[in-house]
Structure 1
Amino acid sequence: MTDDHLQSVFDAFDAAAKAASEQGNKWLLIDCVHEHLDDLGIFDYHDVLARILHLVERYPLLDMGGPGPFGTFIEGQPFKAYTPQLLASLQRQPSTTVLGWLDRTMGDEDFQNGYGPNPVSREHFHAVLALIIHDPRVDTGCRDFARLCLG
């Protein structure tokens, strides 16, 4: 598989995300991701993760599933491979989707069965949650979810 193929897959995701946003139908994207999920594993994980986060940041209000196919793909790696990138994404463009993915890693030390400790501390996560709650760019739903995560 070539980088052109990966780009075409993410072009399809972007088109599906745009349609899902316009039509209020998250399944347009989720179904598209399921169709191409096997393709993602062929490529460099960090490149794919960066592209997923870029897509979520472009459509921060779109429900992409909890965890959904992207979340399931991301969680197939050790915490150190993705939690710092999730935190950075929240700092760039808060979204309920990424917040949910990162929150899942905070709730259970055995979440990944021996993949090692989470490099994102609960304290650092809570500091970002506090910023999200006060960020005027953030929609009410994401702010409310951040408050719940602080619980």
Structure 2
Amino acid sequence: MTVEDFIEKLEGWINHAVDQDDKYAFQDPAYDLIEEIEDSKEAFDFVEPIFHLIERSPEIDYGAPGPFGSFLEKFYHKGYEEKLIDSLKRQPKEYTVFLLHRLSNDTKNPKVEEYKKILKSFEN
């Protein structure tokens, strides 16, 4: 499956979930689809496109952490953090702020203070 095919399917499910006002119309099929790519050698190639998808999508309940968070966090200390910060700089969303909050809970991470500072910038 190409990254574009993957994102197109996810986008369709997000739109359907919004139309139906049913988060599970997205979450359930997304878990299955993400399972297909998790173990591939190119799995990290899906990280940034997922962030772009979140940025342009309407706010829905993606889960806590849900299929996206579960997948993205597999790349913790492997480039995920930088992609998340880039996404927050481009188009912060409630969900990506939530993911940053999770990062800021890791007191052993040498960048935890940076994450907390960025997180504070989103507090109202």
Give the TM-score normalised by the residue count of structure 1: 0.70
Q: Deviations over 1:37-76 (max 9, x none)?
A: 2222225233200111011001151221111111111111
Contact 2:69 2:99 in 1 (8 A): yes
- Distance in structure 2 (CA, Å) of the matches to 1:88 and 1:44: 20
The aligned residue for residue 123 of structure 1 is 114
The aligned residue for residue 105 of structure 1 is 103
The aligned residue for residue 66 of structure 1 is 64
Q: Secondary structure at the match of 1:66?
A: coil
Instruction: Tell me how far 1:121 sits from its aligned partner.
Output: 4.2
Aligned length: 123
Contact 1:12 1:32 in 2 (8 A): no
* Rg larger in structure: 1
The aligned residue for residue 44 of structure 1 is 42
- Distance in structure 2 (CA, Å) of the matches to 1:60 and 1:50: 18
Q: Secondary structure at the match of 1:79?
A: coil
- Distance in structure 2 (CA, Å) of the matches to 1:45 and 1:66: 21
Q: Which runs of 4+ in 1 moved over 4 A?
A: none
- Distance in structure 2 (CA, Å) of the matches to 1:74 and 1:127: 19
CA RMSD of aligned residues (A): 2.2
The aligned residue for residue 6 of structure 2 is 9
The gaps in structure 2 that reach 5 residues or longer are: none
- Distance in structure 2 (CA, Å) of the matches to 1:55 and 1:43: 21
Instruction: Tell me how far 1:77 sits from its aligned partner.
Output: 2.1
Q: Structure 1's 28 and 127: CA in aligned 2 closer, same or farther, altered over 3 A? A: same
The gaps in structure 1 that reach 5 residues or longer are: 111-116, 133-145
The aligned residue for residue 89 of structure 2 is 91
- Distance in structure 1 (CA, Å) of the matches to 2:117 and 2:91: 16
